[in-house]
Homo-oligomer: A and B are copies of this chain.
């Protein structure tokens, strides 16, 4: 297994497979070319130790136009043929139906990274991917991105340093795809965008060290920009949004009706972000606040950048002969950087 993993890694001579070249760059594959796939593509272009080897799509490959010149697009169903072209495959499908199948299947063939974000189902996803990766002798990193991902990392570290305390995670201000979709399914709605907004007063109470018990309603506001179809009943739409169980009923929800032009112009981006705050006490009673926050112009581009940095770590772990499923908790930070240990200690410590 170790031998096989090593053979497929950057900087090695691929004689046996007819690729008689020394390739010093990490060859990244993108599996699924939507917003997140394009985010990964942009991130790879910023990392000189990486190159985009191929993109795999379920659409007709000819119909897909990449941002990067000279990179082949292949059909997702033929992916097995390209095993030796890709060092790390970054899976850019959705968590609901794509990744539960794709990640275990591809982990048997490739070193992989995914962004599986259904928190409650992570243990079963981990088990399925771990079994496949161990069989395949590959390294598979799941649930990467910012939440799960960088936020999880900060929850872990702050909780280990301050074992007596409380974690608070706030999301936003940002577009929630799921909530926007839910509004679009309402009769009479032509288009919609929904912003999740953290409640400043709640964050300030947490930052003051008050350790409040916060209800769903006290943590986030939901603000909706809705384009009504011609002749639709706006009052009925607003009522249906505000009483929608799970999505809106437990929140203070604000609904604005706007034109399609205004929606496109002012709400066309995919900003997001959030805050992880640990409020804790040392044994003397001294109080400490650890806060981590993200303010992102583009959620998929930033998420793609996180996946790409972790793909570097996966390539290195594979080079060391590791196999099995990993999460951000298992990755020593130095593996994320192209710099050597010496450079890191001299410049960043």
Which B residues touch A328, using CB under 8 A? 333, 349
Beta-carbon contact of B156 and A283 below 8 Å: no
When each residue 111-129 of chain A gets 1 if its CB lies under 8 Å from chain B and 0 otherwise, what string results?
Answer: 0000000010011001000
Q: In chain B, what residue has the closest Cβ to A298?
A: B286
Binds B, one of A95-103, A214-222, A236-244, A339-347: A339-347
Asked whether A191 is an interface residue with its Cβ less than 8 Å from the other chain, the reply is: no
Which residue in B126, B207, B332 is a CB contact (below 8 Å) of A295? B207
Beta-carbon contact of B345 and A161 below 8 Å: no
Binds B, one of A80-88, A178-186, A301-309: A301-309
Beta-carbon contact of A297 and B286 below 8 Å: yes
Beta-carbon contact of B161 and A305 below 8 Å: yes
Asked whether A294 is an interface residue with its Cβ less than 8 Å from the other chain, the reply is: yes
Q: In chain B, what residue has the closest Cβ to A143?
A: B349
How long is the Cα–Cα vector from A195 to B157 in the complex, in angstroms?
27
Beta-carbon contact of A160 and B349 below 8 Å: no
Binds B, one of A20-28, A39-47, A254-262: A39-47
Beta-carbon contact of A298 and B282 below 8 Å: yes
How long is the Cα–Cα vector from A179 to B18 in the complex, in angstroms?
64
Known: A143-B349, A297-B287, A329-B332. A162 touches B305 (CB 8 A): yes
Q: In chain B, what residue has the closest Cβ to A147?
A: B349
Which B residues touch A296, using CB under 8 A? 286, 288-289
Which B residues touch A150, using CB under 8 A? 157, 161, 290
Which B residues touch A298, using CB under 8 A? 282, 284, 286, 288
Instruction: Tell me which of A286, A291, A301, A341 has the highest count of chain B C-beta atoms within 10 A of its own C-beta.
Output: A286
How long is the Cα–Cα vector from A186 to B225 in the complex, in angstroms?
63
Asked whether A176 is an interface residue with its Cβ less than 8 Å from the other chain, the reply is: no
20 other A-B residue contacts (CB within 8 Å) besides A123-B342, A156-B334: A122-B345, A143-B345, A143-B349, A150-B161, A155-B348, A156-B337, A157-B336, A160-B309, A161-B302, A161-B305, A162-B302, A282-B301, A284-B298, A286-B297, A286-B301, A288-B302, A327-B349, A329-B349, A331-B333, A332-B332
